[in-house]
């Protein structure tokens, strides 16, 4: 079972303010105050007056990079919080009700296939109208755009973990008569937490990958740039300023290292106790911030009271339901056939409206051309995902089985995953122009540069949760080489790999917009494909063709997920049980 409970029992000690601080309290106090002060200052700057059409100057002076980094990190953590709430809601509803699952999982396939430029083109006007004369509207649009690059990966991760809970744990929840609410907080979320945290790190990196599009908004002739690292990079690319690009890379690495040490590494070390095993692992995650917090009198007293209040609020110790209680979802089960018919009717209606749109607005010749471009991008995506899997699955298993090395590569992996492909444009343009290389071939690796890490992070998470007793049993049986991989490692990480491959595939379709249309100053390199088509139509403000490109991309991703990835997903779910 889990090596520790989710709940940390509160102590009936002295009042918080009556406790005497120790040296660890005085060491942590400046750090906490600095973080709170910076967050408050950045939040105030997000609500300044703003007039649409008025240019926002972005300086390339390296001295402003700390301020830009603060604004960017605040946007990304705001989006991460919203993505976490969405993840909880999606996973619970999709796993509790079969009828809802039939709608929500394909809907998530559609959402992850919609490019960030598509969400941005739709959301920017409503958010600006919601906060007239205030920068907060544009900030919300940027946060929403970052949210769309983070949420789908996390939702798939929690959904997959909740669907593959070991039968003995599910049986224990029934024996203890846990209500659905208690089951989520005391079983499902703790079981899924290690993998979810790794996917949260990947989602933060995904936010960096699309940061230029989120902070440098260019839709239908409107050019809005928000103070941040993404806008800084966009201006540096426009001015062909290689020195500014180098400063932006350094600022990114510093920001990733900071929130890795102050946020993700403490969470990973804390969540290590939720690993599903009966024996203590060889190594455990370590965090100096968590160690300081555990030694601090004030922090311990504060967290004790926080957990107690949270337990009362969430009802973790509420009255259990009777064993023979009637399932609450029976009404939904009885109407499953009607819901299937409604979904089919909506799908047919959507297809009919799409056909009418093509016939009236863009023409069938243009539609066939876009489908052909989609086929080219499909070949690129599948070939690149296959090559990335061959490289990163063995590496990820090796890292996941060795926590001491996982900690060493954690920040580096986040930095590589967060590295925006735009920063490679100078090198790519120089190499392709001077060596006269074919853009249709040599721009393709850019599509998987940022999305291959979904495979790495998910497989690392899956391998890190492999029970230590299973590894010891394999050693006792004398399993070595390929036989050990075939019988132990690959089956154990297969569900995590499928989750990573699905999100990497969807991310690659999104990345095609950046990778198939590369610009550096006034030099542009264009590869044939659906991504470059959408990018060119977005720059031109042709919303009919933007809708056509996004619609065709959604169809490709849904068909691919339905007939390929979904079958692998069901196979992974069956094998895990």
What CATH number is associated with residue 460?
1.10.3720.10
Q: CA 289 from chain center: how many Å?
A: 24
Structure tokens at 338: 């009607």
**248-255, Cβ contacts within 8 angstroms, sequence gap of 24 or more:** 248/65, 248/423, 249/419, 249/423, 251/65, 251/66, 251/68, 251/69, 252/208, 252/415, 252/418, 252/419, 253/415, 254/69, 255/69, 255/72, 255/73, 255/229
Q: Quote the CA–CA distance of 467 and 194 in Å, as a whole number.
A: 13
CA distance between the termini of the chain: 16
Tell whether 332 is covered by a domain: no
Asked if 546 and 118 touch (Cβ cutoff 8 Å), the reply is yes
H helices of 316-358, in order, are 330-334, 336-357
> What CA–CA distance (Å, rounded) separates 274 from 5?
8
Q: Report the domain count for the chain.
A: 1
- For residue 515, give the H/E element and its range: helix 490-515
**Is 424 in contact with 449 (CB distance < 8 Å)?**
yes
What is d(CA 446, CA 360) in angstroms, rounded to the nearest whole number?
35
For residue 367, the model assigns a pLDDT of 86
Please report whether residue 344 resides in a domain: no
**Angle of helix 530-540 versus helix 116-130 axis, rounded to 10:** 30
- 567, 569, 574, 577 alpha-carbon torsion, rounded to 10°: 180
Expressed as residue numbers, the domain containing 43 is: 24-274+283-315+359-576
Token pair, residue 475, equals: 């050693």
CB-facing half-sphere around the CA of 390: CA atoms within 13 A: 5
Q: From CA 460, how far away is CA 541, in angstroms rounded?
A: 42
Buried b (16+ CB within 10 A) or exposed e, 369-404: ebeebbebbbebbeebbeebbeebbeebbebbbbbe
User: 145: which residues sit within 8 A by CB, 6+ positions away?
Assistant: 116, 119, 120, 123, 210, 213, 214
On whether residue 64 sits in a domain, the answer given is: yes
Whether 325 is in a domain gets the answer: no
What's the rounded Cα separation, in Å, for the pair 193 and 214? 28
Q: Please, what's the b/e burial string for 23-49 (b: 16 or more CB within 10 A of its CB; e: otherwise)?
A: ebbeebeeeeeeeeeeeeebeeebeee
Query: Which helix (H) or strand (E) segment is 372 a member of?
Result: helix 364-400
Pairing of strands 517-520, 222-225: unpaired
The DSSP annotation for 109-133 comes to: HHHHHS-HHHHHHHHHHHHHHHSTT
| Structure-token match 């031109």, residue found | 540
Beta bridge partners of 217: 224
H/E element, 519:
strand 517-520
- Determine the Cα–Cα distance for residues 551 and 529; give it in Å rounded to an integer: 14
The backbone torsions φ and ψ at residue 13, rounded to the nearest 5 degrees and listed phi first, read -95, -160
Instruction: Write down the pLDDT at residue 72.
Output: 92
pLDDT of the chain, 577 residues: tens digit per residue: 444 443 344 444 455 555 677 777 777 778 888 888 888 888 888 888 877 767 778 888 899 999 999 999 999 999 999 999 999 999 999 888 877 787 888 788 777 777 776 677 677 778 888 888 788 888 888 899 889 888 888 898 899 888 878 888 888 888 888 888 888 888 888 888 888 887 888 788 777 877 777 887 765 556 778 889 988 988 888 888 888 888 988 898 888 888 888 888 888 888 877 766 544 445 566 777 777 777 777 777 777 777 677 666 665 545 555 444 444 444 444 455 666 677 677 777 877 877 887 777 778 888 898 999 999 999 999 999 999 999 989 988 888 887 777 666 766 776 777 676 667 767 787 788 888 888 888 888 888 877 788 888 788 878 877 777 777 788 788 777 788 888 888 888 888 888 888 878 877 887 788 788 887 767 778 888 888 888 888 777 777 788 888 888 888 887 887 788 878 877 776 665 5
Are the beta carbons of 497 and 455 closer than 8 angstroms? yes
Contacting residues for 322 by C-beta, under 8 A, at least 6 apart: 177
Q: What is the 3-state secondary structure (H, E, C) of 453-500?
A: HHHHHHHHHHHHCCCHHHHHHHHHCCCCHHHHHHHHHHHHHHHHHHHH
**Domain assignment of residue 2, yes or no:** no
Report in angstroms the alpha-carbon separations of 302 from 8, 18, 30, 213, 225.
Answer: 12, 12, 17, 40, 40
Q: What is the pTM (predicted TM-score) of this model?
A: 0.72
Q: Which residues contact 55 (CB under 8 A, 6 or more apart)?
A: 223, 225
């Amino acid at each position: 079972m889990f090596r520790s409970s989710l709940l940390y029992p509160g102590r009936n000690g002295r009042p918080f303010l009556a406790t005497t601080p120790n040296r660890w309290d005085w060491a942590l106090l400046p750090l906490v105050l600095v973080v709170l002060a910076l967050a408050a200052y950045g939040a105030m700057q997000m609500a300044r007056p703003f007039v649409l059409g008025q240019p926002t100057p972005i300086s390339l002076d390296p001295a402003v990079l700390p301020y830009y980094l603060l604004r960017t990190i605040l946007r990304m953590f705001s989006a991460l919080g919203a993505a976490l709430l969405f993840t909880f809601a999606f996973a619970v509803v999709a796993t509790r009700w079969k009828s809802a699952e039939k709608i929500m999982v394909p809907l998530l396939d559609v959402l992850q296939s919609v490019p960030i430029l598509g969400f941005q083109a739709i959301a920017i006007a409503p958010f600006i109208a919601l906060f007239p004369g205030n920068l907060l509207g544009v900030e919300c649009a940027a946060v929403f755009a970052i949210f769309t690059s983070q949420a789908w990966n996390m939702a798939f991760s929690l959904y997959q973990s909740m669907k593959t809970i070991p039968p003995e744990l599910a049986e224990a929840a029934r024996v203890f008569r846990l209500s659905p609410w208690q089951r989520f907080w005391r079983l499902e979320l703790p079981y899924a937490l290690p993998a979810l945290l790794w996917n949260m790190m990947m989602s933060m990196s995904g936010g960096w990958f699309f940061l230029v599009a989120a902070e440098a908004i260019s839709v239908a002739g409107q050019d809005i740039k928000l103070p941040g690292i993404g806008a800084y990079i966009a201006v540096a690319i426009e001015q062909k300023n290689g020195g500014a690009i180098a400063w932006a890379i350094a600022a990114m690495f510093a920001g990733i290292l900071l929130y890795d040490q102050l946020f993700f590494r403490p969470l990973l070390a804390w969540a290590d106790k939720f690993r599903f095993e009966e024996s203590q692992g060889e190594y455990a995650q370590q965090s100096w911030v968590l160690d300081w917090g555990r030694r601090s009198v004030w922090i311990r007293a504060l967290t004790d009271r926080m957990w107690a209040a949270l337990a009362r609020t969430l009802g973790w110790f509420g009255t259990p339901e009777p064993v023979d209680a009637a399932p609450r979802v029976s009404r939904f089960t009885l109407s499953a056939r009607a819901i299937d018919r409604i979904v089919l009717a909506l799908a047919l209606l959507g297809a009919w409206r799409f056909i009418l749109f093509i016939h009236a607005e863009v023409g069938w010749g243009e539609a066939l051309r876009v489908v052909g471009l989609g086929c080219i991008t499909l070949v690129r995506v599948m070939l690149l995902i296959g090559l990335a899997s061959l490289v990163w699955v063995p590496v990820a298993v090796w890292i996941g089985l060795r926590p001491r090395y996982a900690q060493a590569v954690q920040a580096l992996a986040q930095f590589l995953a967060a590295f925006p492909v735009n920063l490679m444009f100078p090198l790519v343009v120089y190499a392709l122009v001077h060596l006269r290389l074919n853009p249709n071939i040599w721009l393709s690796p850019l599509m998987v540069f940022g999305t291959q890490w979904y495979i790495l992070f998910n497989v690392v998470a899956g391998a890190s949760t492999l029970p230590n007793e299973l590894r010891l049993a394999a050693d006792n049986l004398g399993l070595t080489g390929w036989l050990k991989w075939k019988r132990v490692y690959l089956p154990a990480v297969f569900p995590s790999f499928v989750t990573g491959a699905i999100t990497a595939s969807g991310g690659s379709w999104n990345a095609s917009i950046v990778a198939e249309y590369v610009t550096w100053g006034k030099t542009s390199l264009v590869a044939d494909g659906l991504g470059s088509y959408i990018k060119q139509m977005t720059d031109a403000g042709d919303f009919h063709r933007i809708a056509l490109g996004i619609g065709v991309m959604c169809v490709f991703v849904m068909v691919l997920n339905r007939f390929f990835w979904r079958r692998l997903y069901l196979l992974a779910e069956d094998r895990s049980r």
